Amino acid sequence: MFAKADPDLKLRFIWLAFGYGLVTMVIFLSLTSQPVDLELSFPYEDKFFHALAYFVLMAWFAQIYHDKFQRNMIAVVFVFMGASLEYLQSFDPARYSEFGDIIANAVGVSLGFALALTNAKNILCRVEKVIGK
C-alpha cells in the first residue's frame, strides 16, 4: 500500500559499519592534538574540509535511511556533533574552536541532505545491483 521508507539493502550491515567508521574518523580527526596538514594552502582550506567531511557523513547515511523523520534526525545529530566537537577542541591547547567551522559543518550537512532529495539517494542500491549480477 505505502512505499517502503528504507531501501532493501542486502549489505546494510556493511554499509552501516563503514558509515560508523567514517563518523569515528571525523571524531578522531576533530579531537586529535596533531591534526592532519595536507599542505595544500588555498583560501578557507579548513572550511572546505569541514564541509566535505560532513557532506560525506550526511550523504552516506541518507543512502541507508530514506525515511523523512530519520533523515531529519540524522541531520540534526550531525550538526550537533559538529558543534560539540568544535566546543571540545577549545580544551586542547594545540587546537582552537571556530564558529566558522561550525557553519562549514552545517553547510556540509545541508548539501548532503539536499543530495538525498534527488535520485542520488539510491547509489548504494545501484551498487548492490551491480555487485549482485
DSSP class of residue 122 equals G
For the chain, the domains span: 45-132
DSSP class of residue 44 equals T
pLDDT digits (tens, 9 = 90+) for 80-119: 999 999 999 999 988 889 999 999 999 999 999 999 999 9
Q: Which is nearest to 8 in space by CA: 133, 132, 110?
A: 132
| For the chain, the helix, strand and coil percentages under 3-state DSSP, each to the nearest 5 | 70, 0, 30
pLDDT digits (tens, 9 = 90+) for 16-34: 999 999 999 999 999 998 8
How remote is the C-alpha of 19 from its chain's centroid?
Answer: 8
Q: Which residues contact 107 (CB under 8 A, 6 or more apart)?
A: 51, 54
